[in-house]
Structure 1
Amino acid sequence: MEYKDKNGLTEKEFLAQYSPGDYPRPSVTVDMMVLGPKKDYSGLKILLIKRGAHPFINCWALPGGFVHEDESCYEAAARELKEETGLKNVFLEQVYTFSKPNRDPRTRVMSVAYMALSPVAPPVRGGDDALEAAWFDFEFTDNMLRIFNDDIGVEIVYQLSTKRFQNGNVRYANTVAAQKSKSQLAFDHDEIIVESMIKLRREIEYTDLPFSMANKEFTLPDLQVIYELLLGHSLYKANFRIMVADRIEPVGKKEKSIVGRRMSELYRLK
């Protein structure tokens, strides 16, 4: 049975006369926060690209770009990451959709943000419309976001504060970033990083996200440091091992720990 609408049209007839131009059509982009550990696990690094075109030309930004008509947002994120930095086969998880009307000076653009976690910070190269791609040291605390690369001579700092917003009957806390350095990130990429880190830290204890930053086989001391880098604080050894016990299994061999430099049992994710 074919149903008709109030104008007497079947779905086929409705679609034949439908005009997409009758409605606003915002553009859609993807942006990716890519994190990787330093070689000695002493800190985190974030991947940025230097924009080669307006707007925000010569500004550092998260990798990203427009979604093509024949691809999903995930496919666009993977493609843009490969085109702009050379990275591929990296874990990606959707974070949030950023849709403030004035977030892009060109036109109405909504961005679907992803976080990407890499076991290492591998060499990268600029490509497509990115002049450069580089790994930056990354610090994220309750009151500061700091991104810097001493070799390039760039430091980007935002002060973080908490504001409360009403959502129905609930007042909830939201972290707001204020630029404190001469250099800034393009668009609203500071907001994307903040929201990505909040989501990551909220979910880290009951998901397998941190394992995306570990090697396929890892020691428990190394895995614990990865958790601590992402959380921003230390963990008690016994509590940590209880937290991950049901997710890991021994490999049956030992290897030197990156952080302890001692032979330790190797494990893998179940």
Structure 2
Amino acid sequence: MALTTAKGLRDQNGLTEEEFLAQYDPGDYERPSVTVDMLLIGPKKDLSGLRILLIKRGGHPYLNCWALPGGFVHPDETCYEAAKRELSEEAGVKDVFLEQVYTFSKPDRDPRTRVMSVAYIALTSKTVPVRGGDDALEAAWFDFEYTDSQIHIFNEDIGVDIVYELSTKRFKNGHIKYPNLTPTLKSKTRLAFDHVEIIIEAMKKIRKEIEYTDLPFSMAPVKFTLPDLQVIYELLLGHKLYKANFRIMVADRIEALGEKTKSIVGRRMSEVYMLK
């Protein structure tokens, strides 16, 4: 039981916090390294599908393998700051929406040492040209198709095709069993590390939160039409929405600007809106 003195609190060994920290040895505990990995996702220019950003690794492990952009967190930065820096250094991408997904901590997820990764969703309205930098040989946008049964990532220009089959398994948490998707590689080319699992968790989060958060608006321009915004929602959800239901869903989040423009998907003049 801690004892209170005029000089402050003392622990069961009679030490103040200052005294405890002075004799504390961080080497008493093994310290894992920490990285960040980002699923950067955006729509095609014509809104016909989604794309994700991958980088080609320039060093071991997984040399020449395609991976999500990411890297080690520096001692003087937060995970969020590291995610922003890595996107800029590895692909030249800046000023995108970032939201934390999950911490991946399997002991053997990285063959170098014990590495925990904090994963982020990164959303953009434009799949702008990218460049490889830092320890990335290349950076490229890949077409991205995600269903409950398959992940398909491909870029025909560079001849890369990655396919994972997804199966549902149930895992126990306390006395509750819950379903989760388990990937099985079905192509010759694979993603590095456990990055396919990061994609699964990121997409689960997006689809779970899409109806009550503003996540999809980060994939739309500042000014947008409702037909175009609806398609962005549908691309993320993986299914069509009824027009009336969609407009009810977003009605209290948007405001009309009193102007019209051609929508990308309908090619017709439509009201212009923005997020409140």
TM-score calculated relative to the size of structure 1: 0.99
- Residues 147-183 of structure 1, C-alpha deviations (whole Å, 9 max, x = no match): 0000000000000011111110111111111111000
- Of residues 103, 107, 127, the one that matches 1:101 is 107
AA aligned opposite 1:63: P
1:167 to 164, 173, 195: 173
Superposed CA offset, 1:8-46 (max 9, x none): 110000000101011010000000000010110000000
Displacement of 1:251 in angstroms is 1.0
Secondary structure at 1:3 match in 2:
strand
Quick one: distance in 2 between partners of 1:162 and 1:19?
A: 45
Q: How many angstroms apart in 1 are the aligned matches of 2:200 and 2:50?
A: 15
Rounded to whole Å, the distance in 1 between the matches of 2:272 and 2:250 is: 14
Partner of 1:215: 221
1:188 equivalent in structure 2: 194
Deviation at 1:189, TM superposition (A): 0.1
SS state at 1:68 partner: coil
1:64 aligns with 2:70: yes
Residue 46 of structure 2 aligns to a residue in which SS? coil
Task: Name the structure 1 match of 2:245.
Answer: 239
**Aligned counterpart for 2:138 among listed residues 132, 135, 152:** 132
Superposed structure 1 runs of 4+ greater than 2 Å apart: none
Cα distance in 2 for partners of 1:251, 1:92 equals 27
Pairwise CA RMSD: 0.5
Measured after TM superposition, the shift of residue 3 of structure 1 is 1.0
- Structure 1 SS opposite 2:213: coil
Distance 1:118 1:252 in 2: 26
Q: Mark the runs of 5 or more structure 1 residues left unpaired by the alignment.
A: none
Partners in 2 of 1:176 and 1:259 — Cα distance? Answer: 34
> Which residue in the other structure is 1:141 paired with?
147
Question: Which one-letter code corresponds to 2:269 in the other structure?
Answer: M
Partner amino acid, structure 2, of 1:76: A
Equivalenced residue count is 270
Asked if 1:48 is matched to 2:50, the reply is: no
* Percentage of pairs with the same residue: 76
What is the DSSP-based 3-state SS (H/G/I as helix, E as strand, rest coil) of the residue aligned with 2:234? Answer: helix
Distance in 1 between the 2:234 and 2:174 partners? 35
Counterpart of 1:87 in structure 2 is 93
Per-residue CA distance 1:62-81 (angstroms, 9 max, x = gap):
00000000000000000000
Which residue number in structure 2 is paired with residue 250 of structure 1?
256
5+ unaligned residues in a row in structure 2: which ranges? Answer: 1-5
